[in-house]
């Protein structure tokens, strides 16, 4: 079984499902649910369900939400030896509005996540036999750079999901093997304004010049594009009935990491990741929607990309 290390972020998702987003000054009614989430946590859980051993590092608060995360990590069999309980900050939270077509908007308070330090991610056990290290931008930048540096030194492939959309230091891009932005994040990094598949290839080409050896740019209903030194490929999405897109990108990243760790060609890994992201959209919530391996393989065996 391959091993994946994850730079974790932990956010309790406070979700309202509504007919639409409220206008300024308007109050609407909706249906409330609360789920464990955070990009790092979601990706770690998904990687585990897809068949990898997973070690995660991050910070939770010394509160009810934090204890719920620790219990969930234990339940799913993740190595949490490098997860720190912060006595001075609460566990991260995210307020999410989900519309009937599954589209969502999110407001987030990182809280304990932003306190993650370079020392927190230095545990040798995180990198022992790790094939891939997954990172996002929901924790401190210093922790992300240090984890990427240590992962590279240990021989792991580094996969950066530059989310939420923000400027990424050149030092981190230089330590990134596989960069996995969505369209908004890619535009933030490149300053481009165009949309569509051709524009995505242009942004991917620009990003390749900044350090990564491959860029996988996700395009929602248009699938994903892959670009590296030898190929430019558009991989269509799978046609499923989407009810909630929260967590789909995290499922995609985790699936991509698992197949890369297993030695799959990058184009095959992207197709597997597209299927995992599609499965995640078929049920509500972030962590609850993270797919199992058999679900992804079932869609791959019968699904026809749209």
pLDDT, mean over the chain: 95
The residues facing 33 across adjacent strands are 15
Entry pTM: 0.93
Q: What is the pLDDT of residues 80-124, one digit of tens each?
A: 999 999 999 999 999 999 888 888 888 999 999 999 999 999 999
- Separation in Å, CA 188 to CA 70, 125, 129, 162, 230: 33, 34, 34, 10, 25
Q: How far apart are CA 264 and CA 261, in angstroms?
A: 8
Which has more pLDDT, 105 or 267?
267
Dist. CA 225–CA 299, nearest whole Å: 20
User: Which residue of the set 13, 198, 250, 268 is catalytic?
Assistant: 250
Which residues are CB-neighbours of 247 under 8 A, at least 6 positions away? 37, 42, 280, 285, 286, 287, 289, 290
| Main-chain dihedrals φ then ψ at residue 234, nearest 5 degrees | -100, 125
What is the domain partition of the chain in residue ranges?
A: 3-8+39-89+114-302
Does residue 49 carry a pLDDT above 90?
yes
What pLDDT score does 39 carry?
93
Query: Token match 């990590």: residue?
Result: 73
Q: Over 80: is that where the pLDDT of 303 sits?
A: no
Please give the helix or strand (H or E) that residue 53 lies within, else none.
Answer: strand 53-61
pLDDT of residue 27: 93
Residue 76 is among the residues annotated as catalytic for this protein: no
Question: In 3-state terms, what secondary structure has residue 163?
Answer: coil
pLDDT at 121: 96
Q: What tokens appear for 23 in the block? A: 């206008």
Topology (CATH) of 3-8+39-89+114-302: 3.40.1190
Dihedral, CA of residue 70, residue 75, residue 76 and residue 79, to nearest 10: 50
The pLDDT of residue 306 is above 60: no
């Amino acid at each position: 079984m391959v091993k994946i290390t994850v730079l974790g972020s932990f956010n309790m998702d406070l979700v309202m499902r509504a007919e639409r987003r409220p206008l300024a000054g308007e109050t609407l009614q909706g249906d409330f649910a609360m789920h464990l989430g955070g990009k790092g946590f979601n990706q770690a859980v998904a990687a585990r369900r897809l068949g990898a051993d997973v070690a995660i590092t991050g910070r939770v608060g010394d509160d009810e939400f934090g204890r719920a995360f620790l219990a969930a990590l234990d339940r799913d069999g993740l190595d949490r030896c490098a997860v720190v309980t912060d006595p001075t900050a609460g566990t991260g939270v995210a307020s999410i509005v989900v519309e009937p077509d599954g589209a969502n908007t999110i407001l987030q308070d990182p809280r304990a996540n932003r306190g993650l330090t370079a020392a927190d991610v230095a545990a040798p056990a995180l990198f022992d036999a790790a094939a891939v290290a997954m990172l996002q931008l929901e924790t401190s930048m210093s922790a992300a750079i240090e984890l990427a540096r240590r992962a590279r030194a240990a021989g792991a492939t580094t996969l950066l999901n530059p989310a939420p959309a923000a400027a990424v230091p050149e030092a981190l891009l230089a330590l990134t093997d596989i960069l996995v932005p969505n369209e908004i994040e890619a535009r933030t990094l490149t300053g481009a304004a165009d949309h569509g598949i051709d524009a995505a290839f242009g942004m991917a080409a620009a990003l390749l010049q900044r350090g990564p050896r491959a860029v996988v740019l996700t395009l929602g209903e248009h699938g994903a594009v892959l670009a590296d030194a030898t190929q430019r490929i558009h991989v269509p999405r799978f046609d499923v009935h989407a009810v909630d897109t929260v967590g789909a990108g995290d499922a995609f990243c985790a699936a991509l990491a698992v197949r890369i760790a297993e030695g799959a060609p990058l184009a095959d890994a992207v197709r597997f990741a597209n299927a995992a992201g599609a499965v995640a959209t078929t049920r509500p919530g972030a962590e609850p929607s993270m797919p199992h391996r058999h679900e992804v393989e079932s869609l791959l065996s019968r699904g026809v990309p749209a």
